[in-house]
A and B are shown apart, each in its own frame.
Chain A
Amino acid sequence: MASESAQKRRHLRFEIFRYNPEDQESTPQLQSFELDETPYMSLFLALNQIREKQDPSLQFDFACRSAICGSCAMMVNGRPSLACRTLTEDLPELIRLHPLPAFALIGDLSVDTGTWFRAMNERVGAWIHEQQAFDPNAREEPMNDDLAQAIYEGDRCIECGCCVAGCGIANIQPEFYGAAGLNRIARFMMDPRDKREAGDWFEVVSSDEGVFACVGLMACHDICPKELPLLEVHAYLRRRMLVSRIR
């Protein structure tokens, strides 16, 4: 199971963006660190080693360290990536780490994705708009399992922000929902429990922040670490909006 490259011990060099806005003496800069590679070394392990053994002031965010909570996205050699599931063996010996762009910086590699996603979810109304209150005595409404799986597919977004950071539009237009927002819209649009009609959706989707702001070059699709089918999401939304426009 251990791959060849993991067995070869390399000496890694890190260049890490540093800036602590709470420290008046801090200025944005790159700091270098060196580390011996170990088998299956993830950036979670590497960054914690650097913090614990070399510079305890280094800020970054990890929680699950298993690619499910979305905390740890950062620019790894220029590409938005989940640091916890990035193994050093898949990277060259020089590893450059920057915080995600498009989000407010908290410090070093830590950015405020939480505030961005809460605002996005509020703006697109990312919850089931049902008509009836929950009846604790009623059996659940049946749903076809294929449909349930299709909804689950879109529900899998972990709000890591990689697609937003990698999107040219989201970087210059802070109001743009981003691929994650469009995916969220599609997820609720296909859910029969959500009773919003074409007209309700039209306002959300066709605004300047919506699907027509997107230039469709699909950087997001290649970047998404959860492999969400963002290409299909965009196509689905455009189709739905064109249909409702014609009506």
Chain B
Amino acid sequence: MEHIETTDVLVIGGGLAGERCAIEAVSAGQDVVILSVVPPRRSHSCAAQGGMQAALGNCIKAGGDSPDVHFLDTVRGSDWGADQEVARMFAEEAPIAARELAHMGVPWTRVRPGMNRYFIKGQRVEIDEPAEKAGLIMHRDFGGTAKWRACYAAAGTGHALLYAVDSQVVRLGIDVRDRMEVVALIHEGGRCWGAVARCLRTGRHRAFLARATVIATGGFGRIYGQYTTNATINEGTGASVALDTGIVPLGNMEAIQFHPTVLVPSGILITEGCRGDGGYLLDKNMQRFMVEAEPDKQELASRDVVSRHMMQCMKDGRGVDTPAGQHLWLDLRHLGEKHLTTKLREVWDICRDFVGLNPAKDLIPVRPTQHYSMGGVRVNKDGHAYGMAGLFAAGEAACWDMHGFNRLGGNSLAETIVAGRIVGRSVAKFAAGSSLSVNTALALSCVKDAERRAGDWLGRSGSGPGVYAIRDAIAETMIKRVGIFRDGNELEQAVAELKQSLARVDQAVLRSKVPGMNPELSFALRLKGMARLALVTAMGALARTESRGAHFRRDYPLRDDAGWLNRTLVRWPRDAAEPSFSYEPVGLIDLPPGHRGYGSAERIEMTVPITAYNDRVADGQNAQGRQASDEPIGSRMKWGEH
């Protein structure tokens, strides 16, 4: 049947998480097909710049680092929203992942023995790196970490990782179908059997049946339109098709990261490695405002905290006004041309190519911009989606959930590889232990449904709104009302506007009906999903009456561990007009909630003892549809050993 193909494991998304997962499954003897909207080396993983966190502890400033310290930093960074068991598993495996990448050929920057010059908190410092560490993987400083931990390859770390991992995919001969976009999951009775994809060369649909399916489609930053660092392809397809099942919940969709340093006006990321290597943030009077705001961490507080200080600074009239809006300055001049053209080479190129600046001489105009989705398809610690056997998710598309309400810089690259390894193992195991027992009629009817949806778009006529106008309306709502500073009135307004936008999707009309992939139709087919993701993000933010990590409410400025030490789950039951929200405990607590060491120290304390909270975790998560795991909950925790 030309409309149906079968495989053992279907991986949706050809970025780092998906490919690393595929490698794991293939190595365990499973047949894998990877579907990707772009050739895999063009995935957004390639745009990660500054580094990958892994506690190898190889340079002097990384001395005393360990997975324990990495775990603590990650939980503090998450503002206690993370699942601490997952954060623990992650931190333990990250050093292995970094070394595995070295084995695959990543040209990590290495320790140079002898005197090295660094910039630390505004001071030029000379440090003697000992000969016995010569040539080991080097680290740089990043925000919110107690140690230098980010392993890096200049400012092209994501690129280097993606090429190394994809080289293994090529070597293993894994079947990658590029320009294939998943439009629906095939599922029945809480069991997923693959997906329907639309070919972006021909516009034709096809079903891929599999015993296990992995969503690894990255984030959904494009619901913020142009106000994001994300690639044009980060439209949240994976989260959308999961939400469309009506069964699988998305976790913490309101947890949206804004990166502090994004180039104005082009919206291109400038890595945190700039500040890690000693760069400053300046206001229009050339004042380092972060030194007053965060005397201890300065520019290297966590991203949510730095972004808020930057926004406040601009609100206080200390920003630089331009026709493209306000911005602040990133100052790298003191790092010198040699450093800038080697260790920060990609930043040098971006400044030269997109704004005609020389960072050795010029200040760089930056402002916070949407960057990362902490939320996503809610999975258990094996990466298995709640409520849907045979469906897995990994990387930014998943809410695993090691980031809670704020991801630390460098933890995303690390997550892709670590989750790829761990989830890949459980995917392979699941696939090996099950057989494909699905009626092809189900697959064919899913293909028919998808064809009918495309046909509906092509059949509509009249004077309805265009798809790009709706996209722009959603983006304006998101950036204005679901941004860095949120409050109840704005969020209510946002929800109202997004409901309107969602309703308008059904009235929208295509301007072009050309056969083939038809770029306008391709976009139209994503639009409803994007509108729904935007709406559940805004509704989740409205419901969460506290401030935690990147979710900051002016009307509820404190973190509330008495009322909100939980994870938001949202489902959109089939044919329901509205999504439904519920909450589960964040997970077992090892490190008790406290002050992060940066940002506000004030908070509302827990009212139940931690033991009582922990006692309820398993029941609370099971009630929400968590899949059973081979290991009991808590088996990876190291209680109180740090």
Contacts and interface: CB of A to CB of B under 8 A. Distances in A.
Interface in B448-490: 466, 468
Contact of B170 (A21, A57, A121): A121
A122 B108 CA distance: 24
B38 A42 contact: no
Nearest to B518: A57
B268 to A, nearest CB: 4
Given A69-B231, A149-B342, A63 B44 contact: yes
Contact of B514 (A57, A64, A69, A158): A57
Contacts of A118: 39, 170, 176
Nearest to A54: B511
Interface string B143-166: 000000000011010011001000
Contacts of B268: 65-66
B346 A68 contact: yes
Interface string B105-141: 1011111100000000000000000000011111000
Nearest to A129: B171
B167 interface: yes
Nearest to A108: B519
B342 A40 contact: no
A9 B360 CA distance: 30
A22 B135 contact: no
Contacts of B269: 66
Contacts of A181: none
A122 B44 contact: no
B515 A68 contact: no
Interface in A65-103: 65-71, 85, 87
Interface in A109-163: 113-115, 117-118, 121-122, 126-128, 130, 134, 136, 138-145, 148-149, 151-152, 155-156, 158-159
Given A68-B46, A106-B201, A3 B356 contact: yes
B617 interface: no
B86 to A, nearest CB: 20
A152 B153 contact: yes
Contact of A140 (B42, B99, B323, B514): B99
Nearest to A26: B514
A143 to B, nearest CB: 5
B519 A42 contact: no
B516 interface: yes
B41 A152 contact: no
Interface stretch (B347-355, B532-540, B625-633): B347-355
A1 to B, nearest CB: 6
A61 B350 CA distance: 20
Interface in B166-191: 167-168, 170-171, 176, 178-179
A67 B350 contact: yes
A100 B516 CA distance: 20
Nearest to A86: B353
A62 interface: yes
A164 B119 CA distance: 42
A39 B516 CA distance: 34
A59 interface: yes
Nearest to B138: A145
A87 B353 CA distance: 8
B246 interface: no
Interface residues of A, number: 66
A51 B620 CA distance: 49
A55 interface: yes
Nearest to A53: B468
Given A152-B107, A155-B160, A136 B96 contact: yes
Nearest to A138: B99
A107 interface: yes
A122 B359 CA distance: 39
Contacts of B170: 118, 121-122, 126-127
Given A51-B519, A59-B517, A127 B44 contact: no
B432 interface: no
Contact of A127 (B160, B171, B201): B171
B314 interface: no
Contacts of A115: 39, 178
B198 to A, nearest CB: 13
B350 A107 contact: no
Interface string A1-15: 101000000000000
B515 A23 contact: yes
Interface in B512-550: 512, 514-520
Given A107-B516, A134-B100, A85 B353 contact: yes
Contacts of A113: 39
B507 interface: no
A193 interface: yes
B232 interface: yes
Contact of B515 (A22, A69, A70): A22
Given A67-B349, A136-B96, A56 B511 contact: yes
B356 A52 contact: no
B35 to A, nearest CB: 13
B41 to A, nearest CB: 6
B375 interface: no
Most buried by B among A63, A65, A106, A115: A63
The secondary-structure label for the interface of chain A is loop
A141 B266 CA distance: 40
Contacts of A140: 56, 98-99, 102-103, 136-137
Interface in B239-279: 265-266, 268-269
A194 interface: yes
Nearest to A23: B515
Contacts of A46: none
B38 A127 contact: no
Given A134-B100, A148-B110, A194 B515 contact: no
B350 A134 contact: no
Nearest to B93: A136
B233 interface: yes
A71 B365 CA distance: 26
Nearest to A55: B512
B202 interface: yes
A85 B355 CA distance: 10
Contact of A134 (B44, B103, B138, B517): B103
Interface in B307-325: 323-324
A145 B365 CA distance: 32
Nearest to A61: B38
A1 B365 contact: yes
A156 B156 contact: yes
B47 A151 contact: no
B24 to A, nearest CB: 12
A62 B510 CA distance: 21
Interface string B37-61: 0111111101100000000100000
A171 interface: no
A71 B109 CA distance: 27
Contacts of A85: 353-354
Given A68-B156, A118-B176, A145-B138, A128 B105 contact: yes
A191 interface: yes
Nearest to A40: B265
Contact of A107 (B39, B156, B517): B517
B219 interface: no
B572 to A, nearest CB: 28
B587 to A, nearest CB: 26
Nearest to A51: B519
Given A139-B136, A140-B102, 14 more contacts: A42-B354, A51-B519, A57-B514, A59-B517, A63-B42, A64-B47, A69-B42, A69-B46, A69-B231, A127-B171, A140-B56, A148-B109, A156-B159, A188-B105
Question: Sorted from nearest, which 7 A-B pairs have the closest CB atoms?
Answer: A142-B135, A114-B39, A22-B516, A127-B167, A56-B520, A56-B512, A152-B107
13 contacts: A22-B514, A23-B514, A23-B515, A40-B265, A55-B512, A66-B268, A69-B42, A71-B38, A140-B136, A145-B110, A148-B109, A148-B110, A148-B153
